[in-house]
Amino acid sequence: MAFIFKTQTLPETRAQTDVELEGRWNVVVLNDPVNLMSYVVLVFKKVFGYNESTARKHMMEVHELGRSVVWSGGRERAEHYVFTLQRWHLTVVLEPDETH
């Protein structure tokens, strides 16, 4: 008597594998001479759901360092955030996350 076992990949495992295959991407907001700091904080809160202190932390990185990685993850979601931030008139780029 032979037994046949069917195995099934769990969705969480498949999603993790997809992220590993495509790599991680950084959404990087760059400093610009146009947008007010208060406006940038507002955008971060609206787009990412950040609280006031997290939004201010990223805004200050942009202001003082010229850039801030505001989100990291899969490419499709990262591209969505880049598009959304551009619609809010922020200067933003998409970069591969070299640390992972």
Q: What is the pLDDT of residue 28?
A: 98
> Cα–Cα distances in Å, from 11 out to 8, 14, 15, 18, 56?
9, 5, 6, 10, 35
What does the pLDDT read at residue 67?
Answer: 98
Question: Could you say which residues of the chain have pLDDT below 70?
Answer: 1-21
Closest CA to 34 of 43, 25, 26: 43
Give me the pLDDT at residue 22, please: 76
Domain boundaries, the chain: 23-96
Please check whether residue 47 is in contact with residue 90, taking contact to mean a CB–CB distance below 8 angstroms. Answer: no
pLDDT value, residue 99? 85
Q: Where are the beta strands (DSSP E) in the chain?
A: 25-30, 67-73, 91-96
* DSSP letter assigned to residue 69: E
**Confidence (pLDDT) at 8:** 55
CATH number, domain 23-96, options 3.30.1390.10, 1.20.1250.20, 3.40.50.300, 3.40.50.2300:
3.30.1390.10
CA 24 to chain centre: 9
